[in-house]
């Protein structure tokens, strides 16, 4: 991603709403510790929650979080982080909470507010910051999901824009900060050999799989309000589609990238019932917090079209699910077959065309599949991969990268208002108007209906966790 010019001054305080919650425990404290180890954490940290905790309890929570995420190998960095961490207790609906926050901020003039809270509270906190006069020259960092449909996304955007200018609103999709995702953009536009074939004339189809071999893991109540389409497809996988499908940026700057990715979302054809397969793993309805007659999908597969000059007629297949056979994320760009079948094995090949494979997790890699002749007189061959591993030691974790970027005003890895709304517009027609879920076995690749969806284009490439 082209480096962004900082938008305004460096943030001189970081306020963590929801500091006692699950997201802060799993992601935020480990990220802050990593920043402290690198010497990048030098501003006051103010946690806000309604847990009636003391500062000592919050310090213990932070220490436990960092210890659980990995070995604490820099005690000085931990002490430094804890020395910066303060706590404000209060109800987000109470103006007194924001008054106490204003006192805790002291002389800070450019705070950043990170909303690691349930989405239902986003508007409450943003409006509370505005009413308390705490939004001037400040930034707000909003966790996903940004809305749960097009209407709610538009409403939340209006609330946020009424308090903060667009360039001070940082909408997080942590997928965009993963090194492997950033490498898609770099690989596409740093190499000249792709552009001549990166279009409808040479690409037969594209498929993206995000598979998890575990279930909802105690998050049944959350999943009942979201489901796979909202939780993974509409944000994470759509962002990958945008990076693969976008036109070349016209200048070096994240604004150009944002403009091109928004154009991709706006070019996506709204989904129809026939484009979507929803599944639910066996036993999901017995999970805590799940309705006994739940129709929420834990698996989703869809067929997508992008009505642009470059991609007209090329199907994009996206799928994700819980309790699938592997935990892996992968992209397959399937190329069209050669125009003539010259060799003896051409007529019988069902999986013979070249493809480009982006392995995003668990270990990132890029591979190009090509056919190579076997030794002997016969002109027959095998499909083999030219494989480039891209795993690098010492990579920044997504939340470490995102928090640091937001505090400097670097919007490169965040999502713009028009892109959020355009993405919701694609899935909005099928959020309610869809067929019932299909059951599937745990540790399978989902319901057979998901296979039927992609069958005309050769079937799924099932990734492995190797």
Q: What is the pLDDT of residues 420-444, one digit of tens each?
A: 999 999 999 999 999 999 999 999 9
pLDDT value for 344: 67
- What's the whole-number mean pLDDT along residues 83-97? 96
- Give φ, ψ of 140 to 5 degrees: -125, 135
Q: Identify the active-site residue in 236, 434, 438, 443.
A: 236
What percentage of the chain reaches a pLDDT higher than 70? 95
In angstroms, the CA 78 to CA 57 distance is 15
* pLDDT band for position 255 (cuts 50, 70, 90): confident
Residues contacting 360, CB < 8 A, separation 6+? 178, 180, 181, 240, 329, 330, 331
Instruction: Evaluate if residue 1 carries a pLDDT over 50.
Output: no
In angstroms, the CA 290 to CA 199 distance is 43
Say which residue, 385 or 360, is predicted with more confidence: 360
236 catalytic? Reply is yes
Superfamily of domain 13-143: NAD(P)-binding Rossmann-like Domain (3.40.50.720)
Tens-digit pLDDT profile for residues 120-129: 999 999 999 9
Say which residue, 442 or 249, is predicted with more confidence: 442
pLDDT value for 393: 61
Say which residue, 337 or 100, is predicted with more confidence: 100
Q: Which residues of 369-389 are buried (b: 16+ CB within 10 A; e: fewer)?
A: bebeeeeeeeeebeeeeeeee
pLDDT value for 349: 45
In angstroms, the CA 281 to CA 294 distance is 11
CATH class of 176-457: alpha beta
| Integer angstrom CA distances of residue 363 from 66, 255, 329, 332, 348 | 23, 30, 9, 16, 33
* pLDDT band for position 182 (cuts 50, 70, 90): confident
Q: Closest Cα to residue 28, out of 7, 46, 8, 10? A: 46
Structure-block tokens of residue 377: 């007189």
Instruction: Evaluate if residue 149 carries a pLDDT over 50.
Output: yes
Give the residue range(s) of CATH 3.40.50.720 domains in the chain: 13-143
pLDDT value for 7: 57
Strand partners, 413: none
Q: Closest Cα to residue 81, out of 444, 465, 400, 414? A: 400
Tens-digit pLDDT profile for residues 376-423: 878 878 888 888 876 666 667 889 999 999 999 998 889 999 999 999
- What's the whole-number mean pLDDT along residues 250-274? 90
Give the residue range(s) of CATH 3.30.360.10 domains in the chain: 176-457
pLDDT value for 394: 62
Say which residue, 388 or 113, is predicted with more confidence: 113
């Amino acid at each position: 991603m082209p480096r962004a010019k900082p938008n305004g001054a460096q943030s001189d305080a970081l306020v963590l709403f929801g500091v006692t919650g699950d997201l802060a425990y799993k992601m935020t404290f480990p990220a802050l510790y990593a920043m402290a180890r690198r010497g990048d954490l030098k501003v006051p940290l103010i946690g806000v929650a309604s847990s009636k905790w003391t500062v000592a309890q919050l310090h213990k929570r932070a220490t436990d979080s960092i210890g659980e995420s990995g070995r604490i190998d820099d005690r000085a960095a931990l002490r430094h982080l804890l020395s910066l961490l303060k706590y404000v207790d209060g109800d987000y609906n109470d103006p007194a909470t924001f008054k106490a926050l204003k006192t805790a901020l002291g002389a800070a003039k450019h705070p950043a507010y990170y909303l690691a809270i349930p989405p239902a509270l986003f508007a409450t906190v943003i409006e509370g910051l505005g009413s308390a006069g705490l939004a001037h020259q400040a930034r707000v960092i909003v966790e996903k999901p940004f809305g749960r449909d097009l209407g709610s996304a538009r409403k939340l955007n209006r609330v946020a824009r009424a308090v903060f200018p667009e360039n001070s609103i940082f909408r997080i999709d942590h997928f965009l900060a993963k090194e492997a995702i950033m490498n898609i953009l770099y690989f596409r536009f740093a190499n000249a050999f792709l552009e001549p074939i990166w279009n409808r004339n040479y690409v037969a189809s594209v498929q993206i799989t995000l598979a998890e071999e575990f279930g909802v893991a105690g998050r049944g109540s959350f999943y009942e309000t979201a489901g796979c389409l909202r939780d993974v497809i509409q944000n994470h996988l759509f962002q990958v589609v945008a990076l693969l499908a976008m036109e070349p940026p016209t200048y070096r700057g994240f604004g150009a990238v944002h403009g091109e990715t928004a154009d991709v979302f706006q070019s996506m054809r709204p989904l129809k019932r026939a484009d979507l397969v929803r599944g639910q793993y066996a036993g999901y309805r017995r999970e805590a917090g799940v309705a006994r007659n739940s129709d929420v999908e834990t698996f989703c597969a869809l067929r997508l079209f992008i009505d642009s000059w470059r991609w007209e007629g090329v199907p994009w297949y996206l799928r994700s699910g819980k309790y699938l056979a592997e935990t892996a994320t992968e992209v397959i760009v399937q190329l069209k077959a050669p125009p003539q079948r010259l060799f003896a094995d051409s007529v019988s090949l069902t999986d013979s065309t070249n493809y480009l494979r982006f392995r995003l997790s668990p270990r990132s890699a890029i591979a190009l599949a090509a056919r190579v002749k076997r030794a002997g007189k016969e002109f027959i061959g095998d499909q083999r991969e030219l494989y480039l591993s891209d795993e690098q030691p010492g990579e920044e974790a997504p939340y470490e990268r995102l928090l640091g970027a937001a505090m400097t005003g670097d919007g490169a890895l965040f999502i713009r208002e028009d892109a959020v709304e355009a993405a919701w517009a694609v899935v909005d027609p099928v959020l309610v108007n869809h067929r019932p879920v299909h059951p599937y076995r745990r540790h399978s690749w989902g319901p057979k209906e998901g296979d039927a969806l992609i069958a005309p284009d050769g079937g799924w490439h099932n990734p492995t966790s190797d």
